[in-house]
């Protein structure tokens, strides 16, 4: 009852000047009509007397009659909240349910006006203002410093990228040299193979030529023998005829031609008898002798496959003769050559080529990694390139946490995860050590701008998924005073 009376007095006093909880620019909405009544804001048909405004009783359906109390809480959908003037600082709005609840909400109402009825909260806007000014000044200085550090990191990132470029250039040169060496060795192999093949074909050419000559000689001898044999047949026939003539001619016919022929034939026959005694082998004897010759083919001369007979004797002996001049027979050239049939030089060159090809493949895959790297953008301004090898650690609670920007996170010696992706200003780490009866550990790291790298906090919102807040210069950007002001938070404990 005492409270209600007090409220009514304060409200009545305030009515003359202003309506509690309403911003100066909205005060006109609470001007009374000419008859001294006031209409609810959302429904002008409902009229109440002025002393019903802020009397802690809800009269309007939208709660507009209670801008300075906690009444009508459930009805205020469009309300901005309770207005705190915060003289000397910045005005603020607080939810109506916090008005006169006995708690000082200095973060919004540093003047303590939200507790106007309880009178529990003295105005602390001066201190808040001082803290705010200090925060803004320090924050501005820190951001400026952070931006300078960030600029250095951008340069470091550029150098790191240039290093990758240099490394890539070096690898490309190595690839060029290796390719040239490989080309040279391949040509060398081709030449060596061609040389071997020429030597082989020259042998084949020679033996082809010999075979042709043998074949010609064989034909010559065969036709000579045939013609000799034919001649022998004719001679023998003529000898029989002339023998008959010599035996049976009639000497009483004085035929000079016949007598002459008989005389000449008798001389021929007697001469032939003498020839039989001579050492020269007659054609018949030779023929007979060769027929009797049966020479088996010696196994080591397996390339002579013919068994000599009279009919093939010329062929046989010429083959034998030519074979003795032939180079030792070579193995058939199989494609591809077996190791055993390759020359030592070929084997050596092929080994060199295989080694060079392997080296080249490895260099090419190395180069493709560097090429990919150089085409990639590692965060804004490529800044993450500068963070390679950078670790931050801090003991929080019972554990020591270590965060490697481009690497992993550890909770003491337990792996929380490896960096898998970067999204705006959050790093994601996954594939950590498995939790007992739970998933593999993982973490998200939210980065906020500061000149120094520092783990601000860690929490475990889900079992074995961690959330870190990390201050770092890498996400810094120039920001306005308004934005810095919005960042400022005051804790009641600080006042
Ligand atoms: C350890 C820590 C904790 C985690 C439990 C799960 O104690 O890694 O963060 O929650 O294991 O068993």
> 456-468, pLDDT tens digit by residue?
999 999 999 999 9
Cα 70-75-78 angle, rounded to 5 deg: 100
Residue 381 pLDDT exceeds 90: yes
Q: Give the residue from 403, 378, 384, 381 showing the smallest Cα distance to 393.
A: 403
Residue-wise pLDDT for 241-297, tens only, equals: 888 888 887 877 778 788 887 888 788 887 776 655 555 555 566 556 555 543 333
Q: What integer pLDDT is reported at residue 259 of this predicted model?
A: 80
The Cα 283–Cα 273 span in angstroms is 15
Cα 169-171-177 angle, rounded to 5 deg: 105
**Region 457-482 average pLDDT:** 96
Of residues 193 and 228, more confidently modeled? 193
CB 432 within 8 A of CB 440: yes
Residue 444 pLDDT exceeds 50: yes
Q: How many CA atoms lie within 13 A of 187 on its CB side?
A: 5
* Gap from CA of 443 to ligand 1 centroid (Å): 13
* Gap from CA of 409 to ligand 1 centroid (Å): 14
**Region 370-375 average pLDDT:** 95
Q: What integer pLDDT is reported at residue 159 of this predicted model?
A: 97
Cα distance between the two ends of the chain: 33
Q: What integer pLDDT is reported at residue 230 of this predicted model?
A: 78
Read off φ and ψ for residue 159, nearest 5 degrees: -65, -40
In the chain, pLDDT over 90 holds for what percent of residues?
61
Q: Whose CA is nearest to atom 10 of ligand 1?
A: 464
Q: Whose CA is nearest to atom 7 of ligand 1?
A: 435
* Gap from CA of 435 to ligand 1 centroid (Å): 7
Cα 101-110-140 angle, rounded to 5 deg: 140
Of residues 263 and 62, more confidently modeled? 62
**CB within 6 Å of ligand 1 — which residues?**
411, 414, 435-436, 460, 463-464
- State the pLDDT confidence band at 171, using cuts at 50, 70 and 90: very high
List, as own/partner pairs, every contact residues 341-349 make where C-beta atoms lie below 8 angstroms and the sequence separation is at least 24, other chains included. 343/192, 343/196, 345/192, 346/189, 346/192, 346/193, 346/196, 349/185, 349/188, 349/189, 349/192
Q: Whose CA is nearest to atom 4 of ligand 1?
A: 464
Residue-wise pLDDT for 288-331, tens only, equals: 655 554 333 333 343 444 444 444 444 444 455 445 444 444 44
Q: What integer pLDDT is reported at residue 315 of this predicted model?
A: 47
Neighbouring CB atoms inside 10 A of 347's CB total 13
Q: What integer pLDDT is reported at residue 67 of this predicted model?
A: 95
- Looking at every residue in the chain, the average pLDDT score rounds to 84
Q: What integer pLDDT is reported at residue 301 of this predicted model?
A: 40
- State the pLDDT confidence band at 333, using cuts at 50, 70 and 90: very low
Which atom of ligand 1 has the smallest separation from the CA of 414? 8
Residue 112 pLDDT exceeds 90: yes
Q: What integer pLDDT is reported at residue 371 of this predicted model?
A: 96
Of residues 48 and 335, more confidently modeled? 48
Structure tokens of 56?
């802690």
Residue 361 pLDDT exceeds 70: yes
Q: What integer pLDDT is reported at residue 244 of this predicted model?
A: 82
Q: Whose CA is nearest to atom 11 of ligand 1?
A: 435
Residue 382 pLDDT exceeds 60: yes
Note the pTM of the prediction, 2 decimals: 0.61
Residue-wise pLDDT for 26-60, tens only, equals: 999 999 999 999 999 999 999 999 999 999 999 99
Contacts of 261 (CB under 8 A, 6+ apart): 242, 245
Q: Which residues pair with 185 in a beta bridge?
A: none
* Gap from CA of 387 to ligand 1 centroid (Å): 28
Check the CA dihedral 204-207-208-209 and report its sign. positive
Q: What integer pLDDT is reported at residue 466 of this predicted model?
A: 98
Residue-wise pLDDT for 395-419, tens only, equals: 999 999 999 999 999 999 999 999 9
Q: What integer pLDDT is reported at residue 311 of this predicted model?
A: 47
CB 392 within 8 A of CB 470: yes
Helix axes 125-248, 344-375, angle to 10 degrees: 150
Residue 3 pLDDT exceeds 90: no
In the chain, pLDDT over 70 holds for what percent of residues?
78
Read off φ and ψ for residue 116, nearest 5 degrees: -60, -30
**Region 185-206 average pLDDT:** 81
């Amino acid at each position: 009852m005492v409270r209600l009376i007090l409220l009514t007095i304060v409200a009545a006093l305030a009515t003359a000047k202003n309506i509690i909880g309403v911003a100066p620019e909205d005060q006109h909405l609470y001007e009374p009509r000419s008859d001294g009544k006031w209409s609810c804001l959302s429904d002008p048909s409902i009229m109440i007397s002025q002393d019903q405004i802020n009397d802690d009783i809800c009269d309007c359906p939208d709660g507009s009659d209670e801008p300075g109390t906690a009444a009508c809480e459930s009805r205020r959908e469009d309300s901005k909240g309770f207005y705190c003037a915060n003289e000397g600082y910045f005005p603020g709005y607080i939810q109506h349910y916090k008005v006169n609840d006995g708690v000082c909400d200095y973060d919004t109402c540093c003047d303590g006006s939200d507790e106007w009825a309880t009178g529990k909260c003295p105005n602390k806007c001066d201190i808040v203002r001082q803290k705010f000014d200090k925060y803004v000044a320090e924050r501005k200085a820190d951001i400026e410093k952070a931006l300078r550090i960030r600029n250095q990191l951008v340069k470091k990132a550029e150098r790191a990228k240039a290093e990758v470029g240099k490394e890539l250039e070096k690898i490309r040169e190595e690839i060029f040299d290796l390719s040239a060496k490989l080309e040279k060795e391949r040509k060398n192999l081709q030449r060596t193979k061609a040389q071997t093949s020429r030597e082989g074909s020259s042998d084949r050419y020679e033996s082809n030529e010999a075979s042709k000559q043998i074949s010609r000689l064989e034909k010559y001898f065969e036709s000579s023998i045939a013609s000799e044999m034919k001649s022998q047949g004719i001679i023998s026939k003529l000898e029989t005829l002339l023998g008959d003539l010599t035996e049976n001619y009639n000497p009483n016919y004085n035929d000079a031609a016949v007598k002459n022929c008989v005389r000449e034939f008798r001389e021929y026959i007697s001469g032939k008898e003498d020839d039989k005694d001579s050492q020269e082998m007659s054609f018949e004897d030779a023929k007979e002798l060769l027929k009797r010759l049966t020479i088996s083919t010696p196994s080591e001369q397996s390339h002579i496959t013919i068994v000599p007979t009279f009919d093939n004797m010329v062929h046989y002996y010429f083959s034998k003769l030519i074979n003795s001049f032939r180079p030792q027979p070579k193995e058939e050239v199989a494609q591809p050559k077996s190791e055993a049939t390759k020359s030592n030089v070929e084997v050596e060159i092929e080994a060199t080529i295989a080694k060079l090809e392997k080296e080249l493949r490895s260099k090419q895959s190395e180069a493709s990694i560097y090429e990919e790297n150089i085409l990639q953008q590692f965060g804004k301004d490529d800044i993450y390139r500068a963070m390679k090898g950078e670790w931050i650690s801090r003991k929080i609670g019972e554990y020591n946490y270590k965060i490697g920007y481009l690497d992993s996170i550890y909770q003491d010696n337990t792996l929380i995860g490896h960096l898998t992706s970067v999204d705006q200003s959050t790093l994601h780490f996954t594939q950590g050590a498995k939790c007992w009866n739970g998933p593999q550990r993982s973490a998200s790291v939210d980065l906020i701008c500061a000149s120094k790298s520092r783990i601000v906090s860690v929490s475990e919102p889900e079992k074995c998924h961690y959330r870190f807040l990390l201050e770092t210069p890498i996400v810094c950007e120039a920001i306005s005073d308004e934005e810095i002001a919005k960042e400022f938070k005051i804790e009641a404990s600080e006042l």
